[in-house]
Structure 1
């Protein structure tokens, strides 16, 4: 049975480390971690989560975009386990958009990200995969990939004026929805 994992927060040293590649995708501990991350991202209203956020320094992320209280307009997709990913190519265009992080509760920031990316990764069965991602899903992937390099979204915010509290972010989103 899957276990809800504790999410570590900004200041924990693992969040600033480079994550190790996964050598054996079929290792039962990795398969259990995938299941636990799938449960954890769902229960915490995340749209993505990376293993370093649960104090496991390995290159495993879940991208799980769906509407939820933290991201009410997120597109729906099947939750996907992505192991040892890399970006093959990206658009020249970047887009500034709002991001939050389960490891930095209560804060949102405007972060520039590539609008479109092509990636390769290993799936949970150990098969190589390629995928194109755009817009919000591409943003999630880039955000989670940063966790493997010890980079937090706050490091990518261009100005502190682009930071707001979660409460103010929700207020602004509700006001936009009424327009």
Structure 2
């Protein structure tokens, strides 16, 4: 497997909508190798998710996985999930404020409003129909990665620019209050 280069904010690849992936293309050995590389790159960077556009590939594919992630100790675990051609459907009007970060926006976090419950549909890596209802922070992760495939960064959704901070300043000034607020929300939502 190969570690892929992660595009950073300012690179045009992050601002274009990725194209749909046909089933035959998805099943091709080179696409399957790419998915393996995407997963390896995400894990190497301690990301909770990684979209194909973030590694310079304009395909509607993303990976998510949270397994006791040191960057997000309050985030529920998510088994490795590959979604191709994702569609997000909000299942509630309830929203929550999440301090988000991104591998493509190094060392910066900010508050983003996300739907608390969504249905995610698309294909899995074998080209079979995929459907999952995601709640809480897990729902936010799926929305974040789908945004990437639409050419959007979390920066575009920050509700108040005054919430932008480095990781060190988040840890120092905002993490405790965020964790005190988000942990009960995660328990209530089950994700």
The TM-score, its normalising length taken from structure 2, stands at 0.88
Conserved? CA contact 2:46–2:69, under 8 Å: yes
Instruction: Provide the C-alpha distance between the structure 1 equivalents of 2:115 and 2:147, rounded to a whole number of angstroms.
Output: 13
Instruction: Give, in whole Å, the separation in 2 of the partners of 1:142 and 1:89.
Output: 10
Deviates more, 1:60-69 or 1:109-118: 60-69
Aligned counterparts of 2:93 and 2:120: Cα–Cα separation in 1: 15
1:22 aligns to what? 21
Give SS of 2:58's match. Answer: coil
Runs of 4+ in 1 over 6 A off after TM superposition: none
Alignment partner, residue 77 of structure 1: 78
What residue is the counterpart of 1:67 in the other structure? 68
**Partner Cα distance (2:175, 2:116) in 1:** 25
Report if the CA contact (8 A) 1:65-1:137 is conserved: no
Alignment RMSD (CA, Å):
1.6
Count of aligned pairs between the two proteins: 177
Rounded to whole Å, the distance in 2 between the matches of 1:70 and 1:172 is 16
CA distance in 1, matches of 2:164, 2:175: 17
1:90 aligns with 2:91: yes
Q: Which ranges in structure 1 are unaligned for 5 or more consecutive residues?
A: none
CA contact under 8 A between 1:64 and 1:77: conserved in structure 2? yes
Q: Distance in 2 between matches of 1:175 and 1:123?
A: 36
Counterpart position of 2:183: none
Q: Equivalences for 1:1-179 in 2 at 5 Å?
A: 2-23=1-22, 24-172=25-173, 175=176
Mark the CA change 1:26 to 1:72 in structure 2 (over 3 Å): closer, same or farther: same
In the alignment, structure 2 segments of 5+ residues that lack a partner are: 181-191
Name which of structure 1's ranges 8-17 and 83-92 shifts more when overlaid on structure 2. 83-92
Q: Deviations over 1:79-132 (max 9, x none)?
A: 111100102343111111110000000100000000000121100111002110
Which has a greater percent of helix?
Answer: 2
Partner of 1:39: helix, strand, or coil?
Answer: helix
3-state SS of paired residue (1:79): strand
Three-state SS of the structure 2 residue aligned to 1:164 is coil
What is the TM-score of this pair, normalised by structure 1? 0.93
